[in-house]
A and B are shown apart, each in its own frame.
Chain A
Amino acid sequence: MPRLTSRAEFEAWRQSILASWDPSKPCITVCGGTGCSALGAKEVTAALGRELKKQGLQDKVDLKMTGCHGFCERGPLVVVYPQHIFYQSVTADDVPDIVSETLIKGNPLERKLYKDLVTGEPIVYEPDVPFYREQHRILMKYNGLIIPTRIQDYIAIGGYQALCKALFEMSPEQVIEEIKRSGLRGRGGAGFPTGRKWEECRRADGDIKYVICNADEGDPGAYQDRSLVEGNPHSILEGIIIGAYAVGAHEGFIYIRHEYPLAVEHITRAAEQAEEYGLLGKNILGSGFDFTFKVHRGAGAFVCGESSALMRSIEGYAGEPRAKRIHATEKGLWERPTVLNNVKTWASVPHIINNGADWFAQMGTETSKGTMVFSLVGKVNNTGLVEVPMGATLRHLVYDIGGGISSGKRCKAVQTGGPSGGCIPERLLDLPVDYEALTEAGSIMGSGGLIVMDEDTCMVDVARYFLHFTMEESCGKCTACREGSRRMYEILERIVHGKGQEGDIERLQEIGTTMINGSLCALGRMAPNPVLSTIRYFREEYEAHIRDKRCPAAVCKDLITYSIIAENCTGCGVCLRNCPQGAITGEKKQVHHIDPSKCIRCGICREVCRFDAIKVE
Chain B
Amino acid sequence: MFDVNKVDAIIEKHGAEQRALTAMLQDIQGEYNYLPREALEHLAQKMKLPLIQVYQVARFYRAFSLEPRGKHSITVCLGTACHVRGGVAVADQVGRLLGIKPGETTKDRRFSFDTVNCLGCCALGPVMVVDGQYYGKMAASKVERVLAKYSGEEVATNA
Interface residues of chain A, those whose CB is within 8 Å of chain B, are 34-35, 37-39, 72-73, 75, 217-223, 226-227, 258-260, 296-302, 313-319, 375, 377-379, 383-384, 415, 418, 449, 451, 453, 457, 462, 465-466, 469, 475, 578, 580, 602-604, 607-608
Contact = CB atoms under 8 A, between A and B. Distances in A.
Given A221-B81, A377-B81, A299 B89 contact: no
Given A221-B81, A299-B63, A603-B140, A383 B118 contact: no
Given A316-B22, A318-B60, A607-B140, A34 B81 contact: no
Contact of B89 (A378, A469, A603): A603
20 contacts: A34-B120, A34-B121, A35-B124, A219-B118, A220-B80, A220-B83, A220-B118, A221-B118, A227-B120, A296-B23, A297-B26, A314-B19, A318-B60, A319-B61, A379-B85, A384-B123, A462-B80, A578-B141, A602-B96, A604-B141
A38 B130 CA distance: 12
Contacts of A38: 121, 124, 127, 134, 136
Contact of A378 (B64, B85, B124, B139): B85
Contacts of B123: 35, 72-73, 75, 377, 383-384
Interface string B18-53: 111111011000000000000000000000000000
A223 B120 contact: yes
A375 B118 CA distance: 12
Nearest to A297: B26
A148 B142 CA distance: 35
A584 B102 CA distance: 28
Nearest to A35: B121
A261 B79 CA distance: 18
Contacts of B79: 220-221
B61 A259 contact: no
A608 B142 CA distance: 10
Contacts of A37: 134
Interface in B47-87: 56-57, 60-64, 78-86
Contacts of A302: 117
Contact of B62 (A299, A379, A453, A465): A299
A75 B124 CA distance: 9
B106 to A, nearest CB: 18
A258 to B, nearest CB: 5
Nearest to B121: A35
A219 B118 CA distance: 8
Interface residues of B, number: 45
B18 A315 contact: yes
Contacts of B136: 35, 38-39
A302 B116 CA distance: 11
Given A299-B62, A383-B123, A603-B86, A316 B17 contact: yes
Of B21, B26, B60, B93, chain A has the most CB atoms within 10 Å of the CB of: B60
Contact of B56 (A300, A318, A453): A318
A217 B120 contact: yes
B93 A297 contact: no
Nearest to B116: A259
Nearest to B57: A318
Given A72-B124, A222-B118, A379-B85, A607 B63 contact: no
A300 B63 contact: yes
Contacts of B25: 299
Contacts of B117: 218, 220, 302, 469
B121 A604 contact: no
Contacts of B119: 34, 259
Nearest to A70: B123
A445 B92 CA distance: 32
A462 B19 contact: no
Contacts of A300: 61-64
Contacts of B121: 34-35, 38, 72, 223
B90 to A, nearest CB: 10
Nearest to B96: A580
B122 interface: yes
A92 to B, nearest CB: 17
B61 to A, nearest CB: 3
A188 to B, nearest CB: 16
Given A72-B124, A318-B57, A578-B141, 18 more contacts: A35-B124, A38-B124, A221-B80, A221-B82, A223-B122, A258-B63, A259-B116, A299-B64, A300-B64, A301-B62, A316-B19, A319-B61, A379-B84, A451-B84, A457-B84, A475-B60, A604-B140, A604-B141
Contacts of A222: 118, 122
A297 B62 CA distance: 13
A299 B20 contact: no
A265 B56 CA distance: 28
B22 A301 contact: no
A39 B124 contact: yes
Of B22, B25, B86, B134, chain A has the most CB atoms within 10 Å of the CB of: B22
Nearest to B18: A316
A545 B121 CA distance: 33
A574 to B, nearest CB: 10
Nearest to B129: A38
B38 to A, nearest CB: 21
Nearest to A71: B123
A242 B116 CA distance: 35
A259 B114 CA distance: 13
Nearest to A302: B117
A218 B84 CA distance: 18
4 closest Cβ pairs, A-B complex: A220-B79, A300-B62, A38-B134, A299-B61
A317 B20 CA distance: 10
A315 B23 CA distance: 11
A300 B75 CA distance: 14
Contact of A375 (B20, B78, B122, B139): B122
Contact of A449 (B17, B61, B78, B80): B80
A523 to B, nearest CB: 13
A301 B61 contact: yes
Contacts of B20: 316
B114 to A, nearest CB: 10
Nearest to B140: A604
Contact of A316 (B21, B84, B116, B140): B21
A336 B64 CA distance: 29
Nearest to A458: B84
Nearest to A225: B120
A603 B57 CA distance: 40
